[in-house]
Amino acid sequence: MKIVQTQFKPNTIQLGISACVVGQGVRFDGGHKRLGFADRELREYVSYVPVCPEVAIGLSVPRPTIRQVEADNQIRVVGSTDKSIDVTDDLHQYSEQQAKQLSGLSGFIVCAKSPSCGMERIKVYHPEGHTLRHDSVGVFTKALMEKHPLLPVEENGRLCDPVLRENFVTRVFAYHAWQQLVASGLTSDKLIKFHSRYKFLVMANHQTSYRTLGQLISDLSSNSLDDVADEYITGLMYALKQRAGRKGHTNALMHLQGYFKRSIGTNERQALADVIDKYRQGILPLMAPMTLIQHLLVKFPNEYLSQQVYIKPHPEKLALRQQL
């Protein structure tokens, strides 16, 4: 079995990926499921760690297809047509071992519909061949998510949705920033500054988490720093997984607007308010108020706002907010 090991590299975002999604011809038919966004745009900012559980356990390319089959309340991974093929034990063993070795990753892109790599809605069949349900998870991905519950994981197909794509990349960059913080040596001061930078991003995504995390950070003396840090990153990743809508973004934008009241003139203040309202109504995309805010920050510098991750949570070149 081929086990891939990773260690965290502070200056490199390492992203796990199903090998077929990055263009490797490892599928049952010798083909691939190349995702253009991953293999072109995102590749410029990450280092990929390709994994194919089925090839890793010794299955050939090409090979007979496999599926999840339930019998006697147990799911086995067996051949779709050749019932003599049973890779359940090998796949579980590999998945458990591999998941333990991937602690250096900041995210993972898996292949949809795969009995080994699918993230959700995997078909489970009856031994006689008919479909029982569509609610399973690929064996490898299940082990990965159980071992690394905070790790951003997404399927290739879902990343074609602009909202899900932006949300996933935001979580990857946030999780990597947290890994960098921990690797540098966590202190109370560093944790407070980290939260300060992420306040508006959390505000846009999940108001309840915004309040909860603020309360957690406000009293670091009650618990050990490690315990607070664990609770904080769990809460942060939960908050960022919630997809921000126009209501959440509008709320965050209006709070940002408040910081300009004393520095900008009446015309500029009204122009910003108008753009934010047109975004709220769905007339303008999110990039419109964000671009204006960045322009105002150049003209009227504000150190606190300039450090807000919400203003630029990922590289602008990815253009992930143009369709939001």
> Tell me, what's the pLDDT at 222?
78
How far apart CA 128 and CA 151 sit, in angstroms, is 37
> For the residues 185-202, what does the mean pLDDT come to?
97
Q: Are residues 191 and 323 in the same domain?
A: yes
Question: What are the backbone dihedrals phi and psi of residue 106, each rounded to the nearest 5 degrees, phi first?
Answer: -110, 0
Asked if the structure places residue 303 within a domain, the reply is yes
Phi-psi region of 207 (alpha: psi -120 to 50; beta: other; left: phi over 0): alpha
How far apart CA 202 and CA 244 sit, in angstroms, is 9
Asked if the structure places residue 1 within a domain, the reply is no
Asked if the structure places residue 73 within a domain, the reply is no
Task: Please list, in sequence order, all residues whose beta carbon lies within 8 angstroms of the beta carbon of residue 255, skipping any fewer than 6 positions away.
Answer: 200, 203
How far apart CA 176 and CA 105 sit, in angstroms, is 8
Q: Are residues 156 and 222 in the same domain?
A: no
Is pLDDT above 80 for 198? Answer: yes
Q: Are residues 103 and 168 in the same domain?
A: no
Is residue 51 a contact partner of residue 18, using CB atoms and an 8 Å limit? Answer: yes
> Tell me, what's the pLDDT at 223?
84
How far apart CA 115 and CA 69 sit, in angstroms, is 10
Q: Are residues 29 and 151 in the same domain?
A: yes
**pLDDT tens, position by position, 68-124:** 999 889 999 999 999 899 999 999 999 999 999 999 999 999 999 999 999 999 999
Asked if the structure places residue 68 within a domain, the reply is no
Range of the domain at 99: 14-63+87-118+139-160
Q: Are residues 167 and 276 in the same domain?
A: yes
Residue 153 belongs to what H/E stretch?
strand 153-155
Number of domains within the chain: 2
Q: Which one of 160, 192, 221 terminates a domain?
A: 160
> Tell me, what's the pLDDT at 284?
96
**pLDDT tens, position by position, 10-47:** 999 999 999 999 999 999 999 999 999 999 999 999 99
Which stretches of the chain are DSSP H helices?
36-39, 53-56, 88-100, 139-147, 162-183, 188-205, 207-218, 225-241, 246-258, 266-280, 287-299, 303-306
**pLDDT tens, position by position, 268-301:** 999 999 999 999 999 999 999 999 999 999 999 9
Nearest to 140 by CA among 73, 60, 51, 67: 51
Please name the amino acid found at residue 167.
N
Is pLDDT above 90 for 237? Answer: yes
> Tell me, what's the pLDDT at 220?
87
Q: Are residues 229 and 287 in the same domain?
A: yes
Q: Are residues 101 and 197 in the same domain?
A: no
Q: Are residues 103 and 218 in the same domain?
A: no
Given the DSSP bridges, would you call strands 74-79 and 66-71 parallel, antiparallel or unpaired? antiparallel
> Tell me, what's the pLDDT at 261?
84
Q: Are residues 146 and 179 in the same domain?
A: no
Is pLDDT above 90 for 194? Answer: yes
Mean pLDDT of the chain: 96
Asked if the structure places residue 126 within a domain, the reply is no
